[in-house]
Amino acid sequence: MSAANSAHSVVEPSGYAKLIASCLVALYAVISLVPLVWIGLTSVKSSTDSISYPPKVIPYVDFQPSIEGYCNLFSTRSRQTTEYIQSLPAPQGACESIARSRGMVVVGPSNYVPRYINSLIIAFGSTFLSIALGTAAAYAFSRFKVPLKDDLLFFILSTRMMPPIAVAIPIYLMYRELGLSDTRLGMILLYTSVNVSLAVWLLKGFIDEIPREYEEAAMIDGYTRLQAFRKVVLPQAVTGIVATAIFCLIFAWNEYAFAVLLTSGAAQTAPPFIPIIIGEGGQDWPAVAAGTVLFLVPILVFTVLLRQHLLRGITFGAVRK
């Protein structure tokens, strides 16, 4: 998406214009990243540093970094009397020491890890299913004469247009009848139904770009249609499939509305869980920030990987680059 063709000197902006443009863009980027940097900084502050006024900005200068946020994220603690704490054997590990210095003892792990694992299972499960279903459907829509093709494609897209809360009401009732409430399977099926529309639309675009002659040639060579699909089309579509898969993964990973309404315990994912990490007297911001950091890191990696296909993904394939 870069590749400036500088051959046309007439249209090339002047050096002065470029300098101003680069400064403004860099300024915007830096300002827009401040909240994210603040999440990272808050996650390594002690709870008192995190709510200090004026805000403490530079680690090791303004404040001593602390792993308290991460400790609190992964553990549950209970307040104890000083006498009881003094009667305990010496603390094991940094987290236990920090808790003791706050007059508390670690009583067990928190729910963050199970919620994170739920997020992983549901995101990957629904992505796998969406890609499997979406690739097949996209191939059929791309290559065959399907009756009412445009109407079916519009129906598939329109399912994505519904407000999630509107869909959540009947889904809630249906899942309650079927015993799918608060199950991973239920969430995987639900996210698949949302993602499959994106998968079909994006993958159809990618498969449209693979010349039909490839398969036709393979079929003249004696391949059946299915063999040609598997051995000729699929390998050609790998880039598109991977890009689509990452988009599905990001959606399922970030989704909140369905998760907060349809899961409460066993299948709860991380997004509804992170906001309810509370300490004594309100939200434990370093712990919330720590949970947010660990939750966002995979997405940052994916964003960089996806750079080339981002535009196509966010416009349902309407704009290709």
Partner 1 sequence: MTSHTDPAGLVSLPEGHQRASLPRVQTGLSDRAIAWLFIGPTMALLLAINLFPLLWTIFLSFTNYRANRPNAPLWNVGFDHYVAILTDPDIWLRMQATAHFVFWTIALQTVIGFGLAYLVDRKFRGHGFWTTLILVPMMLSPAVVGNFWTFLYQPQIGLFNYVVGFFGGIAPGSFQMLGDVTLSPWAIIIVDTWMWTPYVMLICLAGLRSIPDYIYEAAEVDRASNIRQFVSITLPMCMPFIMLAILFRGIENFKMFDMVNLLTAGGPGSTTELASITLKRAAFEAWRTGYSSAFAIILFVAVFGLANIYVKTLNKVKAR
Restricted to residues 6-35, the positions that interact with partner 1 (CB under 8 A) are: 6, 8, 10-13, 17-19, 21-22, 24-26, 28-29, 32-35
Q: Tell me which stretch binds partner 1 (CB under 8 A): 75-83, 90-98, 100-108, 284-292.
A: 284-292
Task: Please pick, from the candidates 93, 173, 243, 278, the single residue that binds partner 1 as defined by CB under 8 A.
Answer: 173
Shortest distance in whole angstroms from residue 296 CB to partner 1: 6
User: Which of residues 1, 58, 61, 90 is near partner 1 by CB under 8 A?
Assistant: 1
Task: Name 279's bridge partners.
Answer: 282
Residue 281 near partner 1 by CB under 8 A: no
- Near partner 1 in 80-109, by CB under 8 A: none
Which of 97, 111, 183, 227 binds partner 1 (CB under 8 A)? It is 227
Q: Least CB distance from residue 283 to partner 1, whole Å? A: 7
Span of 67-75, 81-89, 92-100, 138-146 interacting with partner 1 by CB under 8 A? 138-146
Site string for partner 1, 31-60 (x = CB under 8 A): -xxxxx-xx--x--------xxxxx-----
141 and 149 Cβ atoms separated by less than 8 Å:
yes
Binding positions for partner 1, 199-218, rule CB under 8 A: 200, 204, 208, 211-214, 216-218
- Candidates 95, 98, 122, 137; binder of partner 1 (CB under 8 A) is 137
First to last CA, the chain: 7
Question: Measured from the CB of residue 134, what is the shortest distance to partner 1 in angstroms?
Answer: 7
| Residues 137 and 100: beta-carbon distance below 8 Å | no
Q: Minimal distance in Å, beta carbon 80 to partner 1?
A: 28
Which of the residues 146 through 165 are near partner 1 (CB under 8 A)?
Answer: 146, 149-150, 152-159, 161-165
- Other Cβ atoms within 10 Å of 303 Cβ, number: 13
3-state secondary structure of 46: coil
Q: Give 11: exposed, middle or buried? Use CB within 10 Å, 0-12, 13-18, 19+.
A: exposed
CB of 192 to partner 1, least distance (A): 6
Q: Which is nearer to partner 1, 107 or 314 (CB)?
A: 314
Nearer to partner 1, 20 or 107 (CB): 20
Q: Which of 243, 249, 232, 256 is nearest to 128 (CA)?
A: 249
In whole angstroms, give the CA distance from residue 53 to residue 34.
Answer: 18
CA 136 vs CA 8, 131, 196, 219: distances in Å: 44, 8, 11, 18
Whole-Å CA distances, 310 to 23, 240, 250, 320 = 24, 11, 12, 10
Q: How many CB atoms lie within 10 A of CB 244?
A: 30
| Four-point Cα dihedral 65, 71, 76, 81, nearest 10 | -50
For residue 103, the Cα-to-chain-centroid distance in whole angstroms is 37
